[in-house]
Every structure is written in structure tokens, then in C-alpha cells.
Amino acid sequence: MDMNIFIQNIPKAELHLHIEGTLEPGTLFRMAERNGIRLKYNSVEALRRAYRFDNLQSFLDIYYEGAGVLQKEIDFYELTWEYLLKAKAQNVRHVEIFFDPQTHTERGIAFETVINGIYDALSDGSRNLDISFCLIMCFLRHLPESDAFETLSQALDFKDKITAVGLDSSESGNPPSKFKRVFEKARKEGFLSVAHAGEEGPPEYIWEALQDLNVRRIDHGVRALEDPSLINELRHRQIPLTVCPLSNIKLCVFKTMQEHNFKKLLDQGLCLTVNSDDPAYFGGYVAENYLALQNAFQFTRNDIAQLAINSFSAAFISEDKKDIFIEQIKKMVE
């Protein structure tokens, strides 16, 4: 079996995926038209040409602008359903999806419009596509703590639909410690926690995510390599990093895939997972991320299988469910 097909076929979980980042240009145009929104770009091609980023912020500016076409519950439903069809084609069997309610509530869209559209699509995906899921609500870290508290209080009405809270948006200058109290409240309410840290920000932000936010996983975390004592901590506790290789190249965290530190992090004994972050903007879904790493580092089938195993062992699912998928993966490399 050719490596490309092996990567497509191996069961995978995706743990770092912003649903707003799956908005494909064609869908964006279609939704803009039906919602009567004028875009700055006059064609899908012109929009695609704008997808050249120098850093995280230059991407976020375009990503928040794009999310403006999402207005009605059906828009959130269709966005999520389109992602699930792509995930299904790559044999993604479990997804943990980030959503950013503040991106929408700030524009006057009701919290329930956002969550109901996303959740109904995920429920249909679970029934009809056999993809299990959980939802992770992210706070936008460039906004004040008080806004995050307000968002958390809105989420309490939907507690049964949300598994964990996360932290995303502009990292530099917005350390995890800014949200220590919000995460304390969220954990008291029963939510698990994760946070983006060490994507552009320093290793200290990863320490803060661990110590102040009590996170179960670090999203990105690639800058951990600069701090040997942090690497020891991550290895010792086997805290998973949800790495997004194509994202890191597009946002200039590394110049080329060969220069990505993925292999170095693996060689330190860390639990790494492969994810697509914002696939509509970064040129590939999860299988393309595995393939890009395989090309750059000559990964074997066993290496790929181990990464797929990690994606399930790092997931917020039962041990029994993990074992079922891990067995299936092991059989593929026997």
C-alpha cells in the first residue's frame, strides 16, 4: 500500500481543529451571498490570494473577517457538516472541535445559534458518519478577562454539550495567567482544560498553562524545546502536544517543514499528535499534515501508526474506546 493511502486509511483522532478555520473560500462566498454580506474580495481566487501570512496576527485578521459570514444556525451547521465529510474521507474517527463563541457574540450572534448549529451537525455526524466528538470552547485571549467570564456564564446553560475550555487568538502579550481565575471557575464547573501555548509565545507561557490553568494538553507547544526543564516536565507527565505542522509553516513559526522541530520533540520522548488547526487557510486537512511530516522526516509506517495511536491516547475518550482504536492501528502495521 502506498504511504499516501496508508495515511488516509489509518484511523485518526483530530484534537486541534478550529471549526471557524474550516470555512473554505467557496463556502464563505456562498454564505456571504445568501446573508447579504459584501466582501472585500470579488472572487474566490482573489480571496485565496490573500491567504499569505507573516505571523499569527496577520492570519487572525483574515480569519475573524471570514467568520463574519456565519450568521444563522444553518451556517454553523453547514460549516461543521462540510468539515465532517472531509474528515470522514480521511478516516478521522473522533474529533475534538474548538469553537470561539466570542468571535460571534461580539457581532451580535446569539451563543445558542453558534453552539446549536455546530452541535446538531456533530450529532448527525456521530449517527450517520460514525465520527465521535467533543466540543472545546475557547476564550479569545486578546479580549479582557471579564469578557471570558461572561462567555463562561453563557456556556453554563449548555454544560452538557461542552467538554473542555481552551484559550486561543493572539498569544504574544496575552499570557495564560491572565485567565487563571476564569479557568479556575471553569474547572469548578466540571470542564476539562487545554490552552494554546508556545506557538509564538515563550516557554514561560507553557509553564503558566500547566501551573495556572491546569491543562490536560498543550496546543502547539513547539517552543517548549527552548527549555530543558520544561521538556522534562512534559515528558515526565506525558502531557500531549497537539502540533499543527502546516499551520506552523504558513504562520512562519518555521521556514520549511525540514526545519520544523517535530522530530526533535519526538526524540525527547514527548507525546505528540498531528492536527490541522485551520485547514481551509493552511492548505491541508489532517492527512496532508501527516504526509508533510512523513515527506520531511522520512517517517516509516510504524512512526505514522505511533502518531495515530497518540491521537487516541491523548483524546478525551474512555480507556475502552482508546484500546479499540489502538488495536485497529496495531493490526495495520503487524
- The set of catalytic residues is 199
Does position 277 interact with ligand ADE (CB under 6 A)? The reply is yes
Intra-chain end-to-end CA distance of the chain, in Å? 14
Q: How far apart are CA 76 and CA 197, in angstroms?
A: 27
Does position 201 interact with ligand ADE (CB under 6 A)? The reply is no
Cβ distance to ligand ADE smaller for residue 194 or 309: 194
Query: Which residue is listed with cell 515526565?
Result: 236
Cβ distance to ligand ADE smaller for residue 292 or 304: 292
Closest CA to 87 of 145, 134, 132: 132
Does position 56 interact with ligand ADE (CB under 6 A)? The reply is yes
- Subset of 235-264 contacting ligand ADE (CB under 6 A): 247
Q: How many whole angstroms from its chain centre is CA 186?
A: 20
In whole angstroms, how close is the CB of 200 to ligand ADE at the nearest point? 8
* Strand locations in 174-226 (E): 192-197, 217-220
Does position 96 interact with ligand ADE (CB under 6 A)? The reply is no
Does position 103 interact with ligand ADE (CB under 6 A)? The reply is no
User: Which residues have C-beta within 8 Å of that of residue 204, sequence separation ≥ 6?
Assistant: 175
Helices (H) and strands (E) counted in the chain, each on its own, are: 17, 8
The interface mask with ligand ADE, positions 141-180, x = CB under 6 A, is ---------------------------xx-----------
What number of residues does the chain have?
334
In whole angstroms, how close is the CB of 197 to Zn ion at the nearest point? 11
In whole angstroms, how close is the CB of 56 to ligand ADE at the nearest point? 6
Query: Are the beta carbons of 133 and 96 closer than 8 angstroms?
Result: yes
Does position 278 interact with ligand ADE (CB under 6 A)? The reply is yes
Which residues are registered as beta bridge partners of 297? none
Does position 78 interact with ligand ADE (CB under 6 A)? The reply is no
Does position 196 interact with ligand ADE (CB under 6 A)? The reply is yes
Cβ distance to Zn ion smaller for residue 32 or 210: 210
In whole angstroms, how close is the CB of 241 to Zn ion at the nearest point? 12
Cβ distance to ligand ADE smaller for residue 14 or 277: 277
Cβ distance to ligand ADE smaller for residue 196 or 217: 196
Query: Which residue is listed with cell 495564560?
Result: 176
- Subset of 259-278 contacting Zn ion (CB under 5 A): 277
- Subset of 277-306 contacting Zn ion (CB under 5 A): 277
Write out the H or E segment, with its range, that includes residue 228: helix 228-237
User: Which residues have C-beta within 8 Å of that of residue 113, sequence separation ≥ 6?
Assistant: 72, 73, 76, 104
For residue 187, count other CB atoms closer than 10 A to its CB: 15
Closest CA to 8 of 288, 226, 209: 288
In whole angstroms, how close is the CB of 157 to Zn ion at the nearest point? 26
In whole angstroms, how close is the CB of 278 to ligand ADE at the nearest point? 5
Q: Give the interface with Zn ion as residue ranges (CB under 5 A).
A: 277
Q: Give the interface with ligand ADE as residue ranges (CB under 6 A).
A: 18, 21, 56, 63, 168-169, 196, 199, 247, 277-278
